């Protein structure tokens, strides 16, 4: 359990998304105005790269490929979205943004070791 | 063959013939199987074969790029059943009652070249088809491999004729054939209606349409439906039609007619990506405004606060659809208000 510096407070503009590599783990940091979310770099729907397909407006992150969307403040699923976002804990300390990375978060379609029951998760 | 689909909402079963895809079989029997393009490009209709034998006809389909064939993953739109099968489908499945798609035979008639690379043609159907404005069909022939998706241009209930538009693509077998050797009266297999990017007057909202090239087809059906219902007496509509140059425009007369029938509530802008618009409106069709630039930019520039509550319809090449979706989301529109087909 370790907090790692991912970037500075001025590195990710409001309503934008930036990809970082924290000890080999790819992480998107999303600044939604009221706070930050650190998430895996792909959409849980069809593995679209959210750094490119994602748009953040009024606390809502939308993957513009197939319109799955989440409220970043509450993590509520919006519209027809069927899977939740996974998130890393984030905190701000001084002018640094820190994330807690215990292991890389992956969605089930990435998990080669899982059995077939991963399909619905 | 019996197909059983397992989803988070439970299990459903349907019959599947030897000559039809699993997707078509489920849809025509009223199941809401997931799909967007139904032609192998989007990947939305993925499923996992738990048991049974299947035949995948287009193994290189771009929509299948992220599947795991070794785990039995398939695209239902490209797969036929060779035995009873059990599939897992990763979305909610319900039974829908309205306008179930069905296979029909069709005869091509009345091919008309609209521009140097766009043609319109009619398909006369063996059985009338009722569809919603904005829907599409898949056409297939033994002259080329695989299905092609085309949106209906016309709108009427119990249609025995559908009007379609095709853009000539270099090396595109169907378009080469239609532009070249097809003399009319050729027979096709038609499956439809399909598509959820539909317009219904009872939704009671303003509409915003963004189309690129032949993507205007489904928008024409929506406008026809709206004008038939005198929808623009009480609602506003904006249409952005993107083409490269003035030479690439078509349907301007019909669009002008819709503007004239709109009580001043429908605005149509033709956006020219490859040449400057030198006049604010079209010289021959003054009811139509002109803009320079990409169609999604023209829409973004014109988007006002009230458009956020409109229903948006987007149709055209995938890259244009993606750009337009970004513009609308950035403009504050919610995902529930955005409807599109991305079969390009």
Q: Is the same domain home to B76 and B45?
A: yes
Contact B50 A116 (CB under 8 A): yes
Considering the domain architecture, whether residues B317 and B218 belong to the same structural domain is answered as yes
Largest Cα–Cα distance in chain B?
63
pLDDT one-digit tens code per residue, A4-31: 999 999 999 999 999 999 999 999 999 9
pLDDT in tens, B285-294: 999 999 999 9
Closest chain A C-alpha to B326 CA, distance in angstroms: 6
User: Is B62 a domain residue?
Assistant: yes
The CATH number assigned to the domain with range A3-103 reads: 2.102.10.10
Domain-by-domain residue ranges, chain A?
3-103
Which residues make beta-bridge pairs with B113? B119
Query: How many structural domains comprise chain B?
Result: 3
Rounded Cα–Cα distance for residues B92 and B145 (Å): 31
| Partner-chain residue, chosen from B43, B325, B332, that has the shortest CB–CB distance to A46 | B43
- The residues near B93 (Cβ < 8 Å, ≥ 6 apart) are B5, B7, B9, B10, B12, B31, B32, B33
Residue A116 binned pLDDT confidence (cut-offs 50, 70, 90): very low
Cα–Cα distance, A41 to A27 (Å, whole number): 6
How distant is the Cα of A65 from the closest Cα of chain B, in angstroms? 7
- A69 contacts in B (CB within 8 Å)? 335
B239 and B322 in a single domain? The answer is yes
Which domain range does residue B285 map to? 201-341
Summarize pLDDT for B184-235 with one digit per residue, the tens: 688 999 999 999 899 999 999 999 999 999 999 999 999 999 999 999 999 9
Retrieve residue B217's tokens: 């087809």
Considering only CA atoms, which of A11, A58, A65 is closest in space to residue A38?
A: A11
B50 touches chain A (CB under 8 A): yes
My answer on whether B275 and B326 are in the same domain is: yes
pTM confidence score: 0.89
Please indicate, yes or no, whether residues B326 and B220 belong to a single structural domain of this protein: yes
Position B140 in a domain: yes
Q: Give the CA count within 13 Å in the CB-facing half-sphere of B174.
A: 22
Of the candidates B231, B248, B221, B211, which has an alpha carbon nearest to the alpha carbon of residue B342?
B211
Tokens 């998304």 locate to: A17
Residue B93 lies inside a defined structural domain of this protein? no
Q: Which residues pair with B137 in a beta bridge?
A: B150
Q: Does B32 touch chain A (CB under 8 A)?
A: no
Domain co-membership, B213 together with B334: yes
Instruction: Say which CATH number the domain at B62 has.
Output: 3.10.20.30
B71 close contact with A: CB closer than 8 A = yes
Nearest to B48 among A47, A57, A116 (CB): A116
Domain harbouring B227, CATH code = 3.40.50.80
Domain boundary among B64, B88, B112: B88
Specify the range with the lowest mean pLDDT, choosing from A59-63, A111-115, B146-150, B260-264: A111-115
A-proximal residues of B, 72-91, CB under 8 Å: 72, 88, 90-91
* Residue B96 domain flag: no
Whole-number Å distance between alpha carbons of A85 and B179: 48
Give the distance from residue A71's alpha carbon to the nearest chain B alpha carbon, in angstroms. 12
Residues B127 and B154 in one domain: yes
Confidence band (pLDDT; 50, 70, 90) for A109? low
**B124 Cα to chain A: minimum distance (Å):** 33
Token pair belonging to A55: 């748009």
Taking CA atoms, B295 is separated from A53, A99, B125, B272, in Å, by 19, 40, 34, 8
- Measured in degrees and rounded to the nearest 5, phi and psi for residue B98 equal -90, 135
Q: Do residues A64 and A58 make contact, with C-beta atoms less than 8 angstroms apart?
A: no
Residue B322 lies in a domain: yes
CATH label of the domain that carries residue B143: 2.40.30.10
Write a three-state SS string for B268-280: EEEEECCCCCCCC
User: Are B78 and B19 part of one and the same domain?
Assistant: yes
| Span B278-335, pLDDT tens digits | 999 999 999 999 999 999 999 999 987 777 889 999 999 889 999 999 999 999 999 9
Give contacts of B65 with chain A, Cβ < 8 Å: none
Residues of B in contact with A82 (CB under 8 A): 90-92
């Amino acid at each position: 359990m370790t907090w790692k510096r991912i970037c500075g407070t001025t590195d990710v503009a409001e309503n934008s998304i930036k990809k970082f590599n924290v000890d080999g783990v790819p992480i998107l940091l999303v600044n939604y105005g009221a706070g930050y979310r650190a998430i895996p770099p792909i959409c849980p729907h069809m593995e679209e790269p959210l750094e490119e397909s994602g748009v953040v407006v009024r606390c809502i992150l939308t993957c513009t490929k197939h319109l799955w969307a989440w409220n970043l403040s509450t993590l509520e699923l919006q519209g027809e979205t069927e899977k939740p976002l996974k998130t890393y804990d984030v905190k701000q300390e001084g002018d640094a943004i820190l994330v807690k990375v215990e292991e890389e978060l992956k969605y089930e379609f990435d998990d080669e070791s899982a059995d077939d029951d991963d399909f619905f998760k | 063959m019996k197909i059983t689909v397992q989803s988070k909402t439970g299990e459903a079963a349907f019959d599947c013939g030897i000559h039809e895809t699993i997707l078509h079989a489920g849809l025509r029997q009223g199941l809401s199987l997931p799909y967007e393009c139904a032609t192998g490009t989007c990947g939305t209709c993925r499923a996992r074969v738990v048991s049974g034998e299947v035949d995948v006809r287009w193994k290189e389909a771009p929509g299948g790029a992220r599947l795991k064939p070794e785990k039995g993953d398939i695209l239902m739109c490209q797969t036929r059943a060779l035995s009873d099968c059990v599939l897992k489908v990763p979305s909610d499945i319900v039974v829908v009652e309205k306008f179930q798609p069905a296979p029909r035979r069709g005869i091509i008639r009345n091919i008309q070249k609209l521009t140097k690379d766009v043609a319109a043609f009619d398909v006369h159907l063996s059985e009338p088809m009722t569809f919603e404005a904005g829907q599409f069909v898949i056409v297939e022939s033994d002259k080329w491999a695989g299905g092609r998706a085309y949106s209906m241009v016309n709108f009427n209930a119990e249609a025995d004729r559908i009007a379609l538009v095709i853009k000539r693509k270099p090396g595109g077998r169907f378009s080469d054939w239609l532009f070249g050797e097809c003399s009319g009266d050729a027979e096709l297999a038609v499956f439809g209606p399909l598509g959820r990017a539909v317009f219904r007057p009872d939704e009671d909202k303003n509409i915003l349409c963004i189309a690129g090239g032949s993507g205007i087809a489904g928008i024409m059906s929506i406008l026809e439906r709206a004008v038939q219902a005198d929808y623009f007496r009480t609602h506003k509509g904006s249409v952005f039609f993107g083409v490269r140059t003035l030479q690439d425009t078509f349907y301007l007369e019909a669009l002008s007619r819709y503007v004239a029938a709109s009580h001043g509530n429908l605005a149509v802008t033709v956006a020219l990506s490859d040449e400057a618009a030198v006049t604010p409106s079209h010289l021959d069709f003054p009811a139509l405004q002109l803009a320079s630039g990409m169609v999604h930019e023209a829409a973004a520039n014109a988007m006002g606060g009230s458009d956020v509550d409109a229903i948006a319809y987007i149709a055209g090449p995938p890259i244009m659809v993606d750009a337009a979706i970004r513009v609308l989301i950035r403009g504050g529109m919610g995902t529930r208000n955005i409807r599109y087909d991305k079969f390009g």
